[in-house]
Each structure stands twice: as C-alpha cells, then as structure tokens.
Structure 1
Amino acid sequence: MVIASEISPSRPAALANWLSVVAGMVVLIVMVGGITRLTESGLSITQWDPVSGILPPLSEKAWQAEFAEYRQTPEFIYEAGPAGMTLSDFKFIFFWEWFHRVIGRLIGLAFALPLAWFWLKGAIPKGYKPRLVALLALGGLQGAFGWLMVRSGLSGQMTDVSHFWLSVHLLTALFTLGGLVWTALDLRALARNPAARPARLTGLATATAFVLFIQLLLGAWVAGLNAGHAAYDWPLMNGMLVPEFDTSRGAVWALTHDPFLLHFLHRWWAWVAVGMLIWLARRVRQLDRRASKAVHTAFGIQIILGIATVMTGVSLWVAVAHQLVGALLVAATAWAMHVAGSTTERLA
C-alpha cells in the first residue's frame, strides 16, 4: 500500500499535466459547442447512441435516413420548410453536432482511462480521489445535460433547445473547467512542496465567482434565445440606452425570457464582472503576476469581442471567439482565485 510520504513528487506533476490537457479539451468543446449553436446544428442528430453514434452515416442510404429523422423535427417543419434545406446543407449541420458529441466522448476517455491508471498505480495523493471522482461525475452529468438539452428542442413546437437547458449544459462545462484548473494547480503546488495544502476559497474569490456566474448565465440565455440579434448598435440598443421590453407577463418572465432585457443585462452586468475581476487581479498581482495578467488580458479581449459580436450582427466567427475567450476567462479567473486561496494569510 502506498502512503502519502512515499509518493514521488513527479506523480502530482504528472496528474497536473493530465488535468491541464483535459482542461484544454474542455475549452475546445466549449468553442465547438458555440459553433454548433450558432449554425443551428444542435438538433440535427435526433437520437442519443453513446456507442454506435461514434460513427457518422457511411452510406447514402444512411444519410437519407438521418435526414428523414431531422425532417420530422419542429425546427425543420417550422423553420427550414420542405424546400429550405438540401442533403448537403444537412450534412454540414450534422457534422458540427456529431463533432461536438465525439469530442465529449474523447474527453470522457481522456479523463476516465488515466484516472483508472493512476488509481491502480497508487499515484493519486491522499485526499484527491474524491475530487477526481467528482470531476468524472461532472463529465457524466455534462453528457446527460447535453442530451436533455437536445431533447427539449425535439418536442412540441419548439424550434430551438430550451435556453434553460442550454445554460445548465454550458455552465456545467465551465464549472468543470474551473475545477480541473484548480485541482491541477493544487497538484502542481504539491509537486513543488510535499507539505503544500489545497488552496482555500476566499471571500473575494467567492464574490467574484458569483458575479461571473451571473454574467455567464445571462450570456447562455442570450445565446439560447438568439437575443444577440435584439440590437446591432453599441453602447445604445436600437438608439436607446434602455430598450423597450415586455413586462406584460410579469417581471420574472421578462428576466428569464425577454431578449431585449436579457441582452441589455448581459451588456451592462459585464462591467460589474469587470470591476470584480480587476479587484481580484490586483489583489493577486504581487503574488503571481502571470495570473493577474491572464485575467486582465482575458476580460479585455472578451469585452472587445462582445462589442464586435453585436456590431457585426452576430458574425459566426466573432461570436465563436467570444465564447472561446469566455472559457479562457473562466480558466484565468480560477487561476487567480487559486492564487488568492493559496496565500490567504499574505492577503489579509
């Protein structure tokens, strides 16, 4: 039996490198998920086949069968129409949803197989097994949430997936990304110093995470409701500072469904998030200048891309870059939060 004192310092470093690779794969799938959403590809595959679904259709007959399934969906019936899509068009949107699902499967394998190997080798430091199992469980939940999201758009007269399920799917991925980054940093600290303790979550870090969570939630709802198209000017919205929005069905409905209000809130809550991120970055600047720079760089680029997304009429690749940098901002924020929690006594 391997005890903590016998574990080589190289093992925590190996675990940290592995988790960093998986984190990079999560960033990739978030980006591909953005492409899938923006190209309206998410409902192109109407079944969830974890094993057989790895392969795309391999014959013309198989493609026609998949296309026939898609033509039964509300999205096709109410939006594409009988003459609105060719088989070639369908193959394009099918690719992005298929690619998105394949990356998800690869992430699962890239996490589960090395985890089993490290476990059997006794290379996991004391106290880290529950956390790694929790990250594995989050990955499984992510797959389940993804299917529930797709299924929400295949019933009734829905022509898009539920923006609530989309937000659950996206935010679970970003929470998992933060957990991977945090755990990798804990393991790197352990590799440098066998007596190192896991970082703690400070009050400032918690407040920053909450404000950023609200911004990410608003962004997911904006994406799910196509609310980015509510206005193409900035800083005004259709020539007004505060746009007109529908409150006839109550304030709660407006806060969760009205595209003009959600677009407005996403624009301006961003500056609250920026204020918190600057505060966090400045607090850790003397302790890890790289983490501080990463946060400043990420939110700076994100602001520019957010404005560009609006002013280009939600250009595909600008909007995809906006989602990609959003994921990188989460990773950078997790890094800065970890720095703060690793040196609490120096920040007091």
Structure 2
Amino acid sequence: MVSPSISTDTNRPRAIARWLFAVAVLVVAMVAVGGITRLTESGLSITEWKPVTGAIPPLSEAQWQAEFDAYKQIGEYRQVTGPAGMTLADYKFIYFWEWFHRLLGRIIGLAFAVPLAWFWIRKAIPAGYKPRLVALLALGGMQGAFGWFMVRSGINETSTDVSHFWLSIHLLTALFTLAGLVWTALDLLALDRDKSARPARITGLAALVGGVLFVQLLLGAWVAGLDAGLASDTWPLMQGRLVPEYDASRGFVWAALHDPFLIHFLHRWWAWVAVAFLILLARKVRGIERRASIAIHSAFGVQILLGIATVMTGVALWIAVLHQFVGALLVAATAWGMHIAGRRAA
C-alpha cells in the first residue's frame, strides 16, 4: 500500500474518518436487519431484483397480489408457508423486512458514493487513500450482488431456503467491509494527528486472530443458513452428550460443510478458541489503548452469553438478532485492536 504523503491544506482526514465511521454504523444496522430478515424467513419474499424501481413497495392491492402470486411459485411457499396457511397479511409482514433490508443497502450505497464523490472533487482525500476508498465502494457493490445470488439460490420450485454458502459469502462480505471502514477511518485519524503517520500494518498476531475469528463467523453464518441453531436447546451438552450424533455417511468434511448438528457443535466450541486469541490481542493492546482492550473483552463476553441464550431459548427472535448485532460490534472492536497493534508496528 502506498503511504500517504504529507497532506495539503485541502486534505480533510478527520472529516473523512467521521464519514466512514457513520457508514460503519449503517453497516452494523444492516447486519442486524439482515438477521431479522433471516430469522423471520423473509429473504425469499421478493422474487425479483429491481435496483431502482424496487425501492418503492407495492402501493395497491393489485400490486400486492401480483407479488404474492410470484412468491407462490417458489418451493418455500409450496412446501412450507403455503401449507401452513399463509395469508396476504402474513406475506406483507415478511415482504416488509426483505424490502427494508434492500432499502437499507441502497441507502448505504448512496451514503458512501455521494460523499466519496464530493471529497474527491474537493481534492480532500489524502494521497494514497483513493484506491482504498474505491475498493470499499466496490465491496459494497459486491455485497449487493452476493445478496441477490443468495436469494436466487432459493428461488425455484424445489428449494425451501437459500444456500447457506451464499448466505455466508453475503454476511462475511458485509463484516469484512465493516472492518475495512473502521481500519481506514482509524488510519485517517492517525494521519490527522500526525501528517507523517503511515497506515497501520497487519501483524502476525492480528492475522492469526483475524483468521480464527473468520472461521467462527463462517460457522455462525452456516448455522443461520441451515437453521442449525434449532439442533439443540441445551448447553453445554447436545442431545444429552458432548458430541452430538450427525450424518457421517459421506465423511467428516461433507458433514462439517452440510450437517446442522455438527456445524452447530463446531460453532459453539470453536467460539472458545476465538475467545483465547481475542484475549491475547486485548492484552497486547491494553497498555497502548485501554479502551480497545475493554471493547474487545466486552464484545466477546456479551456475544458468548447471547449465543448460549439463543440456544437455550430455542432461537428466540430478538436474542438471536442481538447475537448477530453484537457479532458485528465484535468485528469492529477486533479491527480496532488489530489496528492499534499494527500502528505500533508501522
């Protein structure tokens, strides 16, 4: 990465950092709304992707009926919601959450693209940061595309849900974008304080922590995609035993990618591996920035408790949503800690 040079009077690193933090807040909200969309089984309620006109929901009963009729053609309605007696009023409820999720995505796109253009035209972006900001914009565009690929994977006559692989790509892209926003904003704040400051580096410990946390987030996304949270409502045992029974007929690797019981088991116990590495990171940065250490400890502590509560309540909606919301906050706190360690190295 090109190191930012000494900025001119037109450069405004602090203003850009504040804008990036604001977008990061929107991304956290997006992750939470995505959790509601998933948990209410709303993701397949809109069967078409209309980037512009789709921002306007149905405005007449005829339009509502047309959307409902399109939904009736897919496997989720034919095999799950239809036999359960879904009404038009029920459909409007799940439509709202998917529509709101997509609308928030559009808002985030505008909240990033318009200020970026303004800062660019005003020549307010410090040297070396334009490529990174464009990359973040591209990640946002990819996030929207991945979201549609995810929805499309479940829109057919046989599927009753989206692919858990596409769901994980969709969610992890959002979380990676969140980390990138926080990291870049922190680099810009450092530049505002010291015009000769270099961008923070990714240290060996930070890379290790990031990799371990990535695995945990990936498993969590698969748990969500396969409804694997319902595999057990007890903790720490599953089915009265530590290691649950799972389909091993096609080998461990296949089961680790597809079997909800094994994936649930891996997610709940890999969490403690993630905790151990997060503690190492928090201890590393405690003497440099105590607030970051507290943020990391607080986030993973609350996240563990919410994870257990989610299991023991049978995936109660708002507890599960909070679990996903705090997961996003944990990513932001970890990015903060990794940046502090990398700033010292730089």
State the TM-score bracket (shorter-chain normalisation): over 0.9
AA matched with 1:279: L
C-alpha contact (below 8 Å) 2:10/2:124 kept by paired residues? no
Match of 1:141 in 2: 142
Structure 1 residue runs of 4 or more that deviate by more than 3 Å after TM superposition: 3-6
C-alpha contact (below 8 Å) 1:189/1:196 kept by paired residues? yes
Match of 2:131 in 1: 130
Equivalent position SS for 1:122: coil
Match of 2:88 in 1: 87
TM-superposed CA distance for 1:250, in Å, is 2.0
TM-superposed CA distance for 1:81, in Å, is 2.1
AA matched with 2:139: L
C-alpha contact (below 8 Å) 1:301/1:325 kept by paired residues? yes
Match of 2:165 in 1: 164
Match of 2:50 in 1: 49
CA distance in 2, matches of 1:244, 1:5: 60
Match of 1:59 in 2: 60
C-alpha contact (below 8 Å) 1:10/1:191 kept by paired residues? no
AA matched with 1:308: A
TM-score, normalised by the number of residues in structure 1: 0.97
Match of 1:77 in 2: 78
> Which residues in structure 2 correspond to 1:181-196 (within 5 Å)?
181-196=182-197
CA separation of 1:61 and 1:69: change in aligned 2, threshold 3 A: same
C-alpha contact (below 8 Å) 1:108/1:139 kept by paired residues? yes
Deviations along 1:41-70, whole A, 9 cap, x unmatched? 000000000000001000111001111111
C-alpha contact (below 8 Å) 1:79/1:159 kept by paired residues? yes
AA matched with 1:70: Y
Match of 2:307 in 1: 306
Match of 1:108 in 2: 109
CA distance in 2, matches of 1:6, 1:248: 61
CA distance in 2, matches of 1:97, 1:277: 34
CA distance in 2, matches of 1:249, 1:5: 59
Gaps of 5+ in 1: none
C-alpha contact (below 8 Å) 1:230/1:260 kept by paired residues? yes
TM-superposed CA distance for 1:89, in Å, is 0.4
AA matched with 1:334: A
Identity across the alignment (%): 70
Equivalent position SS for 1:85: coil
Match of 1:277 in 2: 278
CA distance in 1, matches of 2:219, 2:337: 23
TM-superposed CA distance for 1:82, in Å, is 5.2
CA distance in 2, matches of 1:148, 1:214: 22
TM-superposed CA distance for 1:252, in Å, is 2.0
AA matched with 2:161: D
> Which residues in structure 2 correspond to 1:195-234 (within 5 Å)?
195-234=196-235
TM-score, normalised by the number of residues in structure 2: 0.97
Match of 1:174 in 2: 175
CA distance in 1, matches of 2:116, 2:69: 40
Equivalent position SS for 2:238: coil
TM-superposed CA distance for 1:165, in Å, is 0.0
CA separation of 1:5 and 1:283: change in aligned 2, threshold 3 A: closer
CA distance in 2, matches of 1:128, 1:107: 20
CA distance in 1, matches of 2:179, 2:108: 15
AA matched with 1:28: A
CA separation of 1:249 and 1:156: change in aligned 2, threshold 3 A: farther
Equivalent position SS for 1:341: helix
C-alpha contact (below 8 Å) 1:202/1:341 kept by paired residues? yes
C-alpha contact (below 8 Å) 2:11/2:125 kept by paired residues? no
Match of 1:155 in 2: 156
CA distance in 1, matches of 2:96, 2:187: 37
Match of 2:238 in 1: 237
CA distance in 2, matches of 1:76, 1:93: 12
Residue 330 (1) aligns with residue 328 (2):
no
TM-superposed CA distance for 1:129, in Å, is 0.4
